[in-house]
Chain A
Amino acid sequence: MKGAVIGIVGSASDGILEAGETLINAFAQEGYFATLCTHKGTQIRGGEVSCRIRVATTPVLNSGGALDLAVVLNWEDYSRLSGELIIGAETVVVYDKKTGLTAATLPLGGVKPAAAVAIPITEMAIHAGAPSQSKDCVVLGLLAAWLGLPQKKILESITARTRGKADPSPKVDQKAFASGIEFATRHPLGRDMALDRATATGGRRRVADGNEMCARAALFAGCKFFAGYPITPATEIMHYLQREIGKYGGSFLQAEDEIAAAAAAVGASYAGAKAMTATSGPGFSLQTEVLGLASAVELPLVCVNVQRGGPATGMPSTQEQADLFAATFSSPGDTVRPVLAPTSVADTFDVTVEAFNIAEHYQTPVIVLTDRDLAQCKAVLEPIEPSQFRIIDRMEPTKAELKKYARFQITEAGISPISHPGMRGGSYLAAGLEHDERGVPTSSGEVHAQMTRKRLSKLNPLKQRRDLFLFEGDPDAHIGLVSWGNVSGITREAVRIARASGIKVKLLVPRLLYPVAEAVYEDFFASLRRCVVVEQSHQGQLHRILKMWTNTPHEFMSVSKSGANRISPHEIVKLIQAMEQPATDRFRTHYCDLLNVI
């Protein structure tokens, strides 16, 4: 096989998360591309967990649709996470014999999988010496044999892991692993699951998730201050920087709340340091006032919002793309702040570096809208080439300018040099109150109009940044898709599949969501008769924003699902096929049926 989607589900104590880590690391070392997404049913440790691994010999654009192989240790746990791990007619299901079910009685809601095989997983683990801890080693043995993975790498990984006080001896794990291999060798699956050899070795590739890439990018861009408050699914950014930032001469603050975190970051920026905060929806709503302040006092600030299901506490561990309105519109007053969205785990690095560059150059808060699936799913990544990046620092006043310094001087580009404390002659008042060029608070309507124009027009050049958009497909196609964030990986694959079948279609993926780059969209729309924005929010937020700012094609539709409901590449291929149909009504009905949207 060229690739496979594998799901493993069970209880938290079954070691499933470790099994996923072991597999993706082994895949990376062997030169495969892969993603690993884990899910926990509850925030509390001890509930149901799953991991979904997609592996392929070519780069993996998303975590895939229905499973090729499902490993179920417990059917109750499966039923709670079945939305993430879809078993379809093509899926081979293996499950623990201990569950006592027969192939005919599996709780699959009428779906008949390609095969369902009961395997004495618990029994083999007990036989090896330690039931609960070693089930995952049995599973790894089964998978290593069926997929044709090098056993040495996996064995090394198993031997190296530590599991706390209840740790069975490595020998027990090794024995469990060996019994899995032996069983799988004696019982080949009905469907050959052996992976094709990867074309190259892993080399310098690394395994990381989006949160790690975001934090690394911050350090790379020169971030010297981070403040945050723990929140799922953004916490790992904070953990990484808490551990690392001091090594680069920076400092870290775990603040008392998200308001304080953002306010401290603005303070650090005022003092001259590149600063960042990271949060998710509930924290982002608190940070709104500070983002408004950063806009008013024209200070660089990077604010990462790892989106999760909302509103309010919502669904902390799930994927959604519904904070675009909040990111775009949530400040009072006449203001614009750039909103960027990475399109993959790897791209999270690039976009975060760019966020710092834009923040520093334009003296503005920049919001990085990532999402749960990008942030917490791991991927095998190519090494980063530092020389590909440009690092921009804020413009500082020259000695001559400091002699007659006006911090908010009206300039042609709207950008005026920033002094910081310690610079003689650079003293100024940074005021959230409207202020004149020297920073003195004012209630003059004329000055307010002038300053508002300065703050808004300085961002106009961003709208010409075509490099902040990804394009794929046939430039003169009549049908096209727009999508952003994690979902763009799904639409990209779908467009490739559709084009391979002879359909002419194109895709535009904005990494700059706001301000809306009207010209870029209108160029893309020019050849289109029909365009669909595919995203993961009930309202189709990008679709609505594009309707506000751009001249959209005649048929401009939204296909969107609320978070926590997977969109698969296969569904989007069907959507593209439907878009080719001539009759509008049929198209409309079709896509509504397809994705259950109204």
Chain B
Amino acid sequence: MISMDSGQRVGAKSCHCSAKDFGNELKPKWCAGCGDFGVMNALYRALAAVGRPPHEIAFVSGIGCSSRIPEYSTAYGFNSLHGRALPVAQGIKMARPDLLVLVAGGDGDGFSIGGGHVPHAIRRNPDITYLLLDNQVLGQSDGQVSPTAQRGARGPGDTYGSLEAPINPILYALAYGAHFVAQGIPGDLEGLAKIIEEAIRFPGFAFVNIQSPCVTFGEPDMQVLVQKTRMKKLKAEGHDPSDRLKAIELAQEGGKALYTGVFYRNPNPPPSYGSLIKGLQRKPALADSEAIA
């Protein structure tokens, strides 16, 4: 029987898991030096801290290098269609509000083919955590430019470089009204784990942009070690995460400054989509046979 009770809002730990309990025996297929290894490790640390057991987690992805993460996890995984991870995840969360629902995918998956779904996930505000592993390229298909690539960035068949301006994921999420928006890098594993943990604990749609570099096709100044030297922690900069306008201002430096930490966290989060739906469901539920009476 499907339980409709507890939400993703996690209080007390329901298991004493360690990070390694969330990874399985499969060896990831990523290139050596890929940022996704670090992201995966940070995520498992965050999940261990949150304390929900793997079988109570639904981990959804689309298609692309980073969308392979669920394959390497002991959680329930759904490696769905290119760009469709968010709708699949919302269906899962609506059917089973008690599950912890995570979405991971790349910038191409989320902002190119799946771009139409992002604003609607944000405005519905389901209690889902969305990890965008941004590397500015379509890595799995040979490094074509992605929608977050800077103007002039070159793909494999590209003589002149991209003629298009990049999408700024942080600014985008803030503009559509996301209540939790953060950024992290795998070079700062501990910081990233904390950010992901906070995102999971946030009662509503939480967006974490992760600058997860592509070692094969990515720009030199985006690689893990370089990122670490470029990063500016928002907390150290004195940013107040309840200040949405300031968050928007900082987000506009995307592509130049590399801020990490929480850009915006709504101090008074509105009800999540799931809790609004729960209010509409009649309890006790009618028997199905009454449908025809």
A binding-site residues for B, Cβ under 8 Å: 216, 219-222, 224-225, 227, 244, 246-253, 255-257, 259-261, 263-273, 275, 289-290, 293, 297, 349, 384, 386, 391, 420-433, 439-441
In the A-B complex, the 8 residue pairs with the closest CB atoms: A267-B91, A249-B285, A264-B91, A219-B291, A263-B87, A268-B95, A267-B88, A260-B87
Q: Which one of B4, B75, B88 contacts A264 once the chains associate, using CB atoms below 8 Å?
A: B88
CA A220 to CA B60, docked complex, whole Å: 30
CA A216 to CA B293, docked complex, whole Å: 10
Pairwise interchain contact A248-B79, C-beta atoms closer than 8 A: no
Q: 0/1 per residue, B46-76, Cβ < 8 Å to A?
A: 0000000111111010010000001100111
Chain B at the A interface: SS class: mixed
- Within B264-293, which residues are at the interface with A (CB < 8 Å)? 277, 280-283, 285-286, 288-292
Q: 0/1 per residue, B195-222, Cβ < 8 Å to A?
A: 0000000000000000000000000000
Q: Which one of A256, A293, A429 contacts B120 once the chains associate, using CB atoms below 8 Å?
A: A256
CA A273 to CA B94, docked complex, whole Å: 10
Using Cβ atoms and an 8 Å threshold, which residues of chain B touch A222? 288
B224 to chain A, nearest CB (A): 26
CA A257 to CA B114, docked complex, whole Å: 12
A8 to chain B, nearest CB (A): 31
B83 to chain A, nearest CB (A): 9
CA A234 to CA B120, docked complex, whole Å: 23
CA A118 to CA B77, docked complex, whole Å: 71
CA A251 to CA B290, docked complex, whole Å: 17
A592 to chain B, nearest CB (A): 45
B267 to chain A, nearest CB (A): 28
CA A431 to CA B117, docked complex, whole Å: 20
Using Cβ atoms and an 8 Å threshold, which residues of chain B touch A221? 288
Chain A at the B interface: SS class: mixed
Residue in B96, B280, B288 whose Cβ sees the most chain A Cβ within 10 Å: B288
Q: Which one of A227, A246, A252, A432 contacts B81 once the chains associate, using CB atoms below 8 Å?
A: A432
Given contacts A219-B288, A249-B285, A293-B80, 5 further A-B contacts (CB under 8 A): A248-B286, A249-B282, A270-B88, A421-B56, A427-B54
Pairwise interchain contact A268-B91, C-beta atoms closer than 8 A: yes
Pairwise interchain contact A421-B96, C-beta atoms closer than 8 A: yes
Pairwise interchain contact A386-B81, C-beta atoms closer than 8 A: no
Pairwise interchain contact A422-B95, C-beta atoms closer than 8 A: no
Pairwise interchain contact A256-B117, C-beta atoms closer than 8 A: yes
Using Cβ atoms and an 8 Å threshold, which residues of chain A touch B290? 248
Q: Which one of A249, A253, A422 contacts B99 once the chains associate, using CB atoms below 8 Å?
A: A422
Pairwise interchain contact B71-A431, C-beta atoms closer than 8 A: yes
Pairwise interchain contact A216-B95, C-beta atoms closer than 8 A: no
Q: Given the interface contacts A216-B292, A246-B277, does A275 sit within 8 Å of B71 by beta carbon?
A: no
Provide a sorted-by-A list of 13 A–B residue pairs whose CB atoms are within 8 angstroms: A220-B289, A220-B291, A224-B2, A227-B91, A256-B116, A267-B88, A270-B92, A293-B80, A293-B84, A426-B76, A427-B75, A427-B77, A428-B77
Q: Which one of A247, A269, A270 contacts B282 once the chains associate, using CB atoms below 8 Å?
A: A247
Pairwise interchain contact B116-A225, C-beta atoms closer than 8 A: no
CA A259 to CA B5, docked complex, whole Å: 29
Using Cβ atoms and an 8 Å threshold, which residues of chain B touch A259? 84, 87
Q: Given the interface contacts A220-B291, A248-B291, does A264 sit within 8 Å of B90 by beta carbon?
A: yes
Cβ-closest chain A residue relative to B291: A219
Pairwise interchain contact B81-A290, C-beta atoms closer than 8 A: yes
Cβ-closest chain A residue relative to B85: A263
* Interface flag for B190 (CB, 8 Å): no
Pairwise interchain contact B91-A423, C-beta atoms closer than 8 A: no
* Interface flag for B26 (CB, 8 Å): yes
Q: Given the interface contacts A224-B2, A431-B71, does A263 sit within 8 Å of B92 by beta carbon?
A: no
Cβ-closest chain A residue relative to B118: A256
Using Cβ atoms and an 8 Å threshold, which residues of chain A touch B70? 429
Pairwise interchain contact A225-B95, C-beta atoms closer than 8 A: yes
Cβ-closest chain A residue relative to B274: A251
Using Cβ atoms and an 8 Å threshold, which residues of chain B touch A432? 63, 79-81
Cβ-closest chain A residue relative to B119: A256
Pairwise interchain contact B292-A430, C-beta atoms closer than 8 A: no
